[in-house]
């Protein structure tokens, strides 16, 4: 037992001194690990940019021909998803697969015109074979948090210790997290804006997990720093009552052919009922002008009017109809939101009590 | 939330907090290499700790950098102090009076000076490191006074990784721009502002000043930034001269072209304004290649490198242009940097990004300077952080300058007879000429003003430097010299009267690079030519002058290497390079080789055959 204890102490202290300790053993320093890991990571740029929602993220290259694993987040919700490789080369990217149950997504750069080959990448199949590392293990985190790096600048590196390997129970804002499987919880503050999709590695730079989103712990309301293991798999019961199991490896294997268990939510608009009818949304970034109000609806009760422009929803700037729908979709019926609207060139605040979504009437078949 | 684990792993999860306990319990069993590193770390902390300052007025931290008591901190800490005199604590538990010395508002750096308790007492200080040798993945130590915890002034130590180097963080307005900074996961919090970041040798590599904060509030969120010490080194002589320094602009914007799947290779010049770069021939769409000897490939790199240097410095810039035959040609030129701050004072109350002290500089007048032993070391003057220190730097410089010759009694007529080669209007081979220049003391018609006369290549010139009716055309005589007559007059002024010869303004300008020309050189190698020189800035007779003095650590220290005379700040100056100092009678030494440049051209190279200097009649 004595030997075991000393081993334990070593495993705790070792990560703290790892840089020099490993160098002394003829292994790589953290600086060398950075140089090795960084080319396998990309910077992602997409939707977002309004308050609290970053328009950038991180991703891990998982094949030499340009498949990139990242977290499923709002930044993918755009026609103009862009990727910068570690040397600064810019690419347009398309989303290949999204699995909300795992909270991960696969995107791809390169096509026939702009072929991508021979990229450095993480071998996820190999990585998924390794057993999870134990709590107390020193780890490194690489991401483009806060978009500190641009172009060919290297990702941020942080060091930490695995605090636990456990089930995730968190929430994003007022949302429950979609993924409820195993995660690494770390003692470093890794899950900052834009860090999602970055790499959590061993202190040798071997991929362990994808850094997750910004989440708060449901019980304590504190921010949680977690990463989704590359070996993640989860079993969920489907609409037909049968359980189905999915894993990150399934997504990587099937790629374009992968069908998500729960199809990602399309922009279906508010999950609550307001009675606000917005103007048509023919172009991107149409501002949320009210076209009409349904009589007797919550909006009518709140004395909203046609031609009002909705500027803020609970303090969040809604620059366009898309942003408005996105923000409102996070509320539940019976919640009250504070809208700031512009009417006759003046801002005013209006409280709006949300209602249950109206059950759709039978489609008007003709 | 935690799965069932072997209990020892539960224990392990708590270990970071219990590290010390675990260490003492199991110390005997630990790998000796780990014990050694632990010991070394403790030694380093012990060694550097005495230099860490708690800046109590303003609520931040700082670090002593020499035995005289000079200490670095953040501008946003001294700004929060709202007073040029402050109180600082050292880890020895003693409270010191301190005074603001210099400011770099854009770079968020301030220099302060702690007053010794007894004259001659020496302070412990940190050794300045080389931040260019720092890499992502290196360990670092941050020390300071987070949350103002240390009532006995013992600093808090945090330990972590360098997360990135050469980082760029946008300014708030034109202030607090963090260029080429060091990103750390070493925890820094409010109160750490201005404190030191050390490498594991205990050398100072940066000044902690800022973090990325968002949803988690203004506390450490794993991302802190330190201003690199190499940037501060460039500004330090200006800070010591009590200056309110400015960062630099080249006078143009740059853009990159983005192309799918292609590595961007071109950073091009856009929107060039009236500037030295424009006068040197830089044009829109020229490709930026390098600046100050560092290659540039992206906008952030451009901003990072530019951010390292103070306004006014002259540095080599390399650009590429397509020539008429569609081939690219590379050009190298020296460019004088212009400032970035607007001339008027910055708007107070701008949000500072730093993790620094709680209260922000608010609008309204500063309170009067409280009485303190440090108040004696403070003198307010527009454009300076503390003019008291500028005056003492001027005095020190003049003392060194006078060692090479004291001409204060020769306040009468002056003249030189020279022969040499004239290049202006002649071509590269030049023309042998003789040139005589003289200043007639009170020689003007009114018997009050001085008169400058010259015969250059057989042509007569004359000008009254203080005369009202003088036109620009005669002030810049002889043609294509940029104003050699005026330059000679100003030089005499300095030789006779020193700093007092410049009625309008005179100040010490810190240290700047200077590039004395080398004989027989075809293509200049600016890196080899560069010498760092102490600078004096003057204004007299509506003309500004910039004087460069040797700061070599030998018997040339204080010798005038050359000067620039600006008849018009929007145009090029007359550049005069002095060398071949020889004794001229009993008064001291004067130069016997004078090279005059204007714009991109050499005007003339002259050998002095005789100096004439007379006492006033």
Task: Check CB contact under 8 Å for B223 and A145.
Answer: yes
> Of the ranges A43-57, A60-74, B383-397, B599-613, which one carries the lowest mean pLDDT score?
A43-57
Nearest CA distance, A30 vs chain B (angstrom)? 5
Query: Per 3-state DSSP, what percentage of chain A is helix, strand, and coil (rounded to 5)?
Result: 20, 35, 45
A146-155, A334-343, B27-36, B427-436: lowest mean pLDDT where?
Answer: B27-36
pLDDT at residue number B350: 37
Domain ranges of chain B: 7-43, 44-247+352-360+374-385, 249-257+264-338, 414-613
Q: Is B9 touching A (CB cutoff 8 A)?
A: yes
Confidence of residue B297 (pLDDT cuts 50, 70, 90): confident
The distance of A299 to chain B (nearest Cα, Å) reads 31
Q: Which of B259-263, B279-283, B503-507 has the lowest mean pLDDT?
A: B259-263
Is B93 a residue whose pLDDT tops 60?
Answer: yes
Looking at residue B308, its pLDDT comes to 96
Task: Name the pLDDT band for B264 (thresholds 50, 70, 90).
Answer: low
User: Cβ contacts (< 8 Å) between B16 and chain A: which residues?
Assistant: 12, 161, 187
Q: How far apart are CA A135 and CA A158, in angstroms?
A: 17
pLDDT, tens digit, for every residue of B7-62? 444 444 444 444 444 444 455 677 888 889 899 999 999 999 999 999 998 889 99
Q: Provide the pLDDT confidence category of residue A283 given band limits of 50, 70 and 90.
A: low
Distance CA B466, CA B79 (A): 42
How would you classify residue B377: left for phi > 0, otherwise alpha for psi between -120 and 50, otherwise beta? alpha
Residues A192-231 as b/e (b if ≥16 CB within 10 A, e otherwise) read bbbbbbbbbbbbebbbbbbbbbbbbbeeeeebbbbbbbbb
Identify the weakest region by mean pLDDT among A40-44, A307-311, B6-10, B382-386. Answer: B6-10
> Are the Cβ atoms of B12 and A136 closer than 8 angstroms?
yes
| pLDDT for the residue numbered B26 | 52
Q: Does B471 touch chain A (CB under 8 A)?
A: no
Residues of B in contact with A37 (CB under 8 A): none
Question: Which stretches of B308-409 are DSSP H helices?
Answer: 387-402
Nearest to A6 among B16, B29, B264 (CB): B29
The closest CB to that of A31, out of B9, B137, B212, belongs to B137
Half-sphere exposure of B453 (CA within 13 A, CB side): 13
What is the average per-residue pLDDT within B117-135?
Answer: 96
pLDDT score, position B368: 66
pLDDT at A4 > cutoff 50: no
CA distances for B612 relative to A155, A207, B415, B417, B438, angstroms: 66, 80, 5, 8, 9
Rounded to the nearest angstrom, the minimum Cα separation between B199 and chain A is: 13
pLDDT of residue A8: 43
| Torsion angle, alpha carbons of B380, B361, B141, B46, to 10 | 50
Cβ of A164 under 8 Å from any chain B Cβ? yes
SS3 A51: coil
CB atoms A148 and B223 under 8 Å? yes
Region A336-353 average pLDDT: 90
What lies within 8 Å, CB to CB, of A22 at 6+ separation is A28, A29, A203
Residues of B in contact with A157 (CB under 8 A): 136-137, 161-164, 185
Give the pLDDT mean for A265-285.
67
Number of Cβ atoms within 10 Å of the Cβ of A102: 25
Quote the pLDDT of residue B402.
94
Which residues in chain B are closer than 8 Å to A5, comparing Cβ atoms? 26, 29
**Helix segments in chain A, DSSP class H:** 2-24, 30-37, 124-129, 248-254, 298-301, 321-328
What's the residue count for chain A?
A: 366
In this structure, the number of other CB atoms found within 10 A of the CB of residue B516 comes to: 16
Share of chain A above pLDDT 70, in %: 82
B216-220, B334-338, B525-529 — which is least confidently predicted? B216-220
A148–chain B nearest CA distance, Å? 7
Overall fold of domain B249-257+264-338:
Pdz3 Domain (2.30.42)
Q: How many CA atoms lie within 13 A of B7 on its CB side?
A: 0
CATH of B44-247+352-360+374-385 given 2.40.10.120, 2.30.110.10, 3.40.50.300, 3.10.20.30: 2.40.10.120
Q: What is the pLDDT of residues A345-366, one digit of tens each?
A: 888 999 998 888 765 444 443 3
- Give the residue-averaged pLDDT of A90-115: 92
How far from B282 is each of A54, A171, A345, B273, CA to CA, in Å?
Answer: 38, 55, 47, 10
Minimal CA separation from A124 to chain B, in Å? 24
Fold agreement between B44-247+352-360+374-385 and B249-257+264-338: no
> Looking at the predicted structure, is the pLDDT value of residue B5 above 50?
no
Q: Which residue in the block uniquely carries the two structure tokens 């760029």?
A: B168
- Could you give the angle at the alpha carbon of B48 between the alpha carbons of B46 and B49, nearest 5°? 65
* Cα separation, A253 vs B6, whole angstroms: 35
- pLDDT-derived band at B212 (thresholds 50, 70, 90) equals confident
Closest Cβ–Cβ partner in B12, B138, B163 for A158: B163
Please say if the pLDDT value at position B207 is more than 50.
yes
The answer to whether B475 and B568 have CB atoms below 8 angstroms apart is no
Alpha-carbon distance B228 to A321, whole Å?
Answer: 44
pTM, to two decimals:
0.82
Higher per-residue pLDDT: A292 or B207 = B207
pLDDT at B214: 76
Q: What are the start-end ranges of the H helices in B75-199? A: 75-81
Query: Is B23 in CB contact (< 8 Å) with chain A?
Result: yes
Class of B414-613 in CATH: mainly beta
Using a CB-CB cut-off of 8 Å, the residues of chain B touching A192 are: 212, 214, 221-223
- List A residues 212-271 in contact with B (Cβ-Cβ < 8 A): 214, 219, 223
In order of start, what are the domains of chain A with their CATH numbers?
A: 2-229 (2.40.10.120), 276-353 (2.30.42.10)
Q: Where is mean pLDDT largest: A77-91, A310-324, B121-135, B363-377? A: B121-135
A353 within 8 A of A333, measured Cβ to Cβ = no
Out of A9, A31, A145, the one facing B30 most closely (by C-beta) is: A9
Cα separation, B68 vs A276, in Å, equals 70
Omega into A338 within 30° of 0, i.e. cis?
Answer: no
Give A320's pLDDT tier (boundaries 50, 70, 90): confident
Kindly list the residues from chain A whose CB atom is less than 8 angstroms away from the CB atom of residue B226.
Answer: none
What's the gap between Cα A220 and its chain centre?
Answer: 21
Q: Does A21 touch chain B (CB under 8 A)?
A: yes
Q: Which residue of A has its CA nearest to B185?
A: A158
- Provide the total of helices (H) and of strands (E) in chain A, helices listed first: 6, 24
Q: Which residues of B are catalytically annotated? A: 76, 108, 193
Q: Is A39 near chain B, with CB under 8 Å?
A: no
Confidence of residue B569 (pLDDT cuts 50, 70, 90): confident
**What are the pLDDT digits (tens) for A205-259?**
999 999 999 887 666 778 889 999 999 998 887 777 788 899 999 999 999 999 8
Give me chain A's average pLDDT, please.
84
Which chain A residue has the Cα nearest residue B263?
A: A89
CA distance A333 to A309: 22
């Amino acid at each position: 037992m004595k030997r075991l204890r000393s081993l334990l102490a070593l495993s705790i202290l070792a990560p703290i001194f790892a840089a020099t300790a490993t160098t002394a053993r003829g292994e790589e320093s953290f600086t060398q690990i950075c140089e090795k890991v960084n080319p396998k990571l990309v910077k992602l740029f997409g939707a977002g940019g309004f308050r609290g929602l970053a328009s950038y993220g991180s991703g891990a290259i998982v094949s030499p021909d340009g498949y990139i694993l990242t977290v499923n987040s709002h930044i993918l919700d755009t026609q103009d998803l862009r990727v910068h490789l570690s040397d600064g080369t810019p690419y347009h990217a398309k989303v290949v697969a999204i699995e909300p149950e795992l909270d991960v997504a696969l995107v791809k750069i390169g096509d026939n015109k702009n072929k991508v080959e021979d990229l450095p990448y993480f071998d996820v199949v190999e990585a998924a074979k390794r057993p999870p590392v134990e709590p107390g293990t020193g780890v490194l985190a690489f991401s483009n948090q806060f978009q500190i790096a641009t172009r060919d600048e290297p990702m941020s590196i942080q060091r930490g210790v695995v605090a636990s390997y456990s089930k995730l129970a968190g929430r994003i804002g007022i949302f429950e997290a979609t993924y409820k499987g195993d995660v690494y919880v770390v003692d470093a503050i890794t899950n900052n804006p834009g860090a999602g999709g970055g790499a959590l590695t061993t202190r040798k730079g071997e991929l362990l997990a994808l850094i997750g989103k910004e989440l708060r712990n449901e019980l304590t309301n504190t921010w949680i720093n977690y990463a989704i293991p590359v070996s993640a798999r989860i079993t969920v019961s489907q609409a037909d009552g049968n359980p189905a199991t999915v894993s990150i490896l399934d997504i990587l294997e099937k790629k374009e052919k992968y069908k998500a268990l729960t199809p990602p939510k399309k922009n279906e608009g508010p999950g609550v009922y307001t009675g606000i009818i917005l103007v048509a949304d023919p172009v991107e970034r149409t501002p949320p002008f009210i076209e009409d109000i349904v009589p007797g609806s919550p909006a009518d009760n709140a004395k909203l009017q046609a031609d009002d422009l909705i500027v803020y929803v609970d303090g969040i700037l809604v620059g366009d109809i898309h942003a408005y729908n996105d923000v409102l979709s996070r509320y539940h019926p019976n919640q009250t939101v504070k809208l700031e609207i512009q009417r006759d060139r003046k801002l005013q605040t209006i409280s709006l009590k949300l209602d249950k979504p109206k059950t759709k009437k039978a489609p008007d078949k003709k | 939330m935690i799965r069932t684990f072997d209990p020892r792993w539960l224990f392990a999860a708590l270990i970071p907090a219990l590290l010390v306990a675990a260490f003492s319990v199991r110390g005997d069993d630990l790998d000796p290499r780990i014990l050694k590193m632990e010991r070394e770390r403790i030694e380093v902390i012990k060694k550097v700790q005495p230099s860490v300052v708690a800046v109590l007025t303003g609520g931040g931290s700082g670090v002593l950098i020499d035995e005289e008591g000079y200490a670095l901190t953040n501008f946003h800490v001294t700004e929060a102090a709202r007073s040029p005199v402050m109180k600082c604590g050292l880890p020895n538990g003693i409270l010191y009076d301190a005074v603001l010395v210099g400011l770099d508002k854009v770079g968020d750096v301030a220099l302060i000076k702690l007053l010794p308790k007894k004259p001659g007492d020496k302070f412990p200080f940190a050794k300045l490191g080389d931040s260019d040798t720092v890499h992502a993945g290196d360990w670092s130590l941050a020390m300071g006074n987070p949350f103002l915890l240390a009532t006995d002034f013992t600093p808090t130590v945090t330990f972590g990784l360098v997360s990135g180097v050469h980082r760029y963080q946008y300014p708030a307005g034109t202030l607090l721009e963090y260029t080429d900074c060091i990103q750390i996961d070493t925890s820094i919090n409010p109160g750490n502002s201005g404190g030191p970041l050390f490498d594991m040798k205990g050398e100072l590599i940066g000044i902690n000043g800022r973090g990325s904060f968002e949803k988690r509030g203004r506390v450490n969120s794993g991302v802190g930034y330190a201003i690199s010490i190499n940037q501060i080194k460039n500004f330090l002589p200006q800070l010591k001269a009590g200056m309110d320094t400015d960062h630099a602009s080249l006078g143009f914007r740059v853009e990159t072209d983005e192309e799918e799947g292609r590595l961007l290779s071109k950073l091009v010049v856009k929107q060039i304004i009236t500037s030295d770069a424009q006068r040197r021939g830089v044009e829109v769409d020229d490709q930026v290649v390098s600046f100050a000897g560092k290659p540039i490939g992206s906008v952030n790199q451009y901003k990072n490198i530019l951010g390292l240097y103070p306004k006014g410095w002259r540095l080599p810039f390399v650009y590429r242009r397509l020539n008429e035959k569609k081939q690219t040609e590379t050009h190298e030129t020296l460019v004088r940097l212009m400032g970035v701050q607007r001339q008027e004072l910055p708007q107070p109350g701008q949000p500072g990004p730093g993790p620094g002290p709680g209260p922000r500089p608010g609008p309204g007048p500063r309170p009067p300077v409280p009485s303190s032993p440090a108040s004696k070391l403070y003198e307010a003057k527009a454009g300076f952080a503390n003019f008291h220190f500028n005056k003492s730097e001027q005095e020190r410089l003049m003392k060194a300058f006078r060692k090479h010759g004291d001409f204060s009694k020769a306040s009468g007529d002056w003249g030189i007879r020279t022969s040499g080669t004239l290049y202006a209007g002649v071509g590269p081979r030049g023309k042998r000429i003789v040139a005589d220049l003289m200043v007639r003391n009170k020689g003007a018609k009114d018997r009050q003003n001085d008169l400058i006369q010259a015969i250059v290549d057989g042509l007569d010139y004359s000008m009254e430097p203080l005369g009202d009716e003088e036109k620009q055309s005669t002030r810049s005589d002889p043609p294509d010299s940029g104003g050699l007559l005026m330059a000679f007059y100003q030089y005499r002024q300095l030789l006779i009267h020193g700093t007092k010869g410049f009625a309008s303004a005179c100040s010490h300008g810190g240290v700047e690079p200077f590039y004395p020309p080398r004989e027989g050189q075809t293509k200049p190698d600016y890196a080899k030519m560069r010498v760092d020189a102490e600078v004096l800035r003057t204004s007299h007779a509506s003309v500004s002058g910039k004087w460069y003095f040797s700061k070599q650590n030998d018997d040339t220290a204080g010798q005038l290497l050359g000067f620039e005379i600006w008849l018009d700040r929007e145009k090029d100056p007359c550049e005069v390079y002095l060398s071949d100092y020889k004794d001229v009678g009993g008064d001291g030494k004067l130069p016997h080789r004078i090279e005059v440049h204007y714009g991109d051209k050499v005007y003339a190279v002259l050998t002095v055959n005789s100096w004439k200097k007379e006492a006033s009649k």
